[in-house]
Amino acid sequence: MGVRTTGLIGPGWLAAAADRGEVHTVRLGWADRLGGWRGKRMPVREFLGRAPLSMGFCDGMIVCDVQCDIIETTPFSNYSTGYPDLHVQFHPDLARPAAWAPGEAFVFGVPRDAAGRVLEVAPAAVLAQVLRRLDELHVRVTVSASLAGAALPRPGTLPGPPGPALPDASSAASVGVALLEGLAASGLPAVSVRGGLDPGSFVLGLGPAAPAELTEALVVAKSAAKEIAGARGLEAVFMTLRPGAAEASLQVLDAIVTGAPVLSPEALQCRFDAVRPLLFPSVTAMKARPPAVHVGKGPGRAQRVLARASSEADPATVVAVLLAAIGSLAEAGLRGWAAAATAASPIRDLRDAAAMADHPWVKQWLGAPFVDNAIPLFEHEAELFQAAVTDWEIARYWSAS
Partner 1 sequence: MSDPRWVDVYWSDLVGRCRFVRVGSDAAADGVRLPRSLVAAGFAGPSPEPGEVLLLPDWGSARPNPWDQNAQVVLGDLLDPDGQPDASCSRSALRAVLDRAARDGLEIQAAAELEFYLIDPATRRPIYDEINQYSLTKGSELEFLLHDLRERLAVLGIPIEAVNPEYAGGQAEVNIKYTEALAAADRAVLTRHLVREMARSHGLDATFMAKPWTEQAGSGMHVHQSVWRVPGPSAKAGGAGANLFYTAGELSSEGHAYVAGLVRYMRELVLLGSATPNAYHRRADYSFAPTRICWGADNRTLAVRVITGSEGASRVEQRDAAADCNIYLAMAGQFAAGLAGLGAGWSPPDPVTGNAYTRTDLPLLPESFPEAVDLLASSDLAHAALGPVIDALLRVLRPERTVLVTSSTDWERDRYMSVV
- Report yes or no: 197 and 247 within 8 Å, Cβ to Cβ: yes
Instruction: Choose which of 201, 223, 240, 251 interacts with partner 1 (CB under 8 A).
Output: 223
Rounded Cα distance between 123 and 276, Å, is 16
5-24 binders of partner 1 (CB under 8 A)? 24
Residue 252: which of 308, 205, 290 has the closest Cα? 308
Contacts 24+ apart (CB under 8 A), 163-170: 166/199, 166/200, 167/199, 167/200, 167/234, 169/199, 169/200
Interaction between residue 38 and partner 1 (CB under 8 A): yes
Cα 144 to chain centroid, rounded: 14
- Using the rule CB under 8 A, is 385 a contact of partner 1? no
- The Cα–Cα gap between 82 and 114 comes to 14
- List helix spans (H) across 232-314: 265-274, 276-279
Which amino acid would we find at residue 359? H
Question: What are the C-alpha distances in Å from 257 to residues 52, 140, 352?
Answer: 35, 6, 31
- Which residues ranging from 128 to 187 are in contact with partner 1 (CB under 8 A)? none
Q: Could you tell me how many residues make up the chain?
A: 401
103 is a contact residue toward partner 1 (CB under 8 A): yes
H helical segments located in 209-344: 211-231, 265-274, 276-279, 315-335
Binding string to partner 1 for residues 294 to 313, with x set by CB under 8 A, is what?
--------------------
Based on the shown chain and the rule CB under 8 A, indicate whether residue 28 belongs to the binding site for partner 1. Answer: yes
Q: Which is nearer to partner 1, 114 or 394 (CB)?
A: 114
- The answer to whether residue 80 forms part of the interface with partner 1 (CB under 8 A) is yes
- Told to check if 82 binds partner 1 by CB under 8 A, we report yes
Q: What angle do CA 363, 316, 355 make, to 5 degrees?
A: 35
Stretch that binds partner 1, among 49-57, 142-150, 239-247, 257-265 (CB under 8 A): 49-57
Q: Which stretch binds partner 1 (CB under 8 A): 14-22, 65-73, 199-207, 261-269?
A: 65-73
The answer to whether 354 and 374 are in contact (CB under 8 A) is no
- Shortest distance, position 302 Cβ to partner 1, whole Å: 36
Which residues 6+ apart lie within 8 Å of 180 measured at CB? 190, 192, 193, 204
Question: Which residue among 46, 135, 136, 358 contacts partner 1 (CB under 8 A)?
Answer: 46
Q: Single out the segment in contact with partner 1 by CB under 8 A; choices: 56-64, 255-263, 292-300, 302-310.
A: 56-64
Cβ distance to partner 1 smaller for residue 172 or 221 = 221
SS3 220: helix
Q: Which is nearer to partner 1, 42 or 268 (CB)?
A: 42
Nearer to partner 1 among residue 25 and residue 364 (C-beta): 25
Minimum Å gap between C-beta 251 and partner 1 is 17
Q: Which is nearer to partner 1, 220 or 268 (CB)?
A: 220
Angstrom CA distances, 88 to 118, 159, 316, 399, stand at 9, 43, 17, 54
Contact status: 56 vs partner 1 (CB under 8 A): yes
Burial 321-330 (b: 16+ CB within 10 A, else e): bbbbbbbbbb
Region of 27-35, 259-267, 339-347, 372-380 interacting with partner 1 (CB under 8 A): 27-35
Cβ-based nearer residue to partner 1, 103 or 261? 103
Residue from 15, 23, 27, 361 that binds partner 1 (CB under 8 A)?
27
Sequential DSSP letters for 129-191:
HHHHHHHHTT-EEEEEEEEEEEEEEPTTT--SS-------HHHHHHHHHHHHHHHHHTT--EE
Shortest Å, Cβ 105 to partner 1: 12
Q: Work out whether 226 is an interface residue with partner 1 (CB under 8 A).
A: yes
90 is an interface residue for partner 1 by CB under 8 A: no
86 phi and psi, to 5 degrees? -95, 155
Of 37-45, 158-166, 174-182, 207-215: span binding partner 1 (CB under 8 A):
37-45
In the set 1, 16, 75, 85, which binds partner 1 (CB under 8 A)?
85
Q: Is 91 in the site for partner 1 (CB under 8 A)?
A: no
* Binding-site member from 9, 13, 33, 39 for partner 1 (CB under 8 A): 39
| Residues at the site binding partner 1, with contacts judged by CB under 8 A | 24-25, 27-29, 36-43, 46, 54-58, 61, 67-69, 78-85, 101, 103, 106, 114, 222-223, 226-227, 230
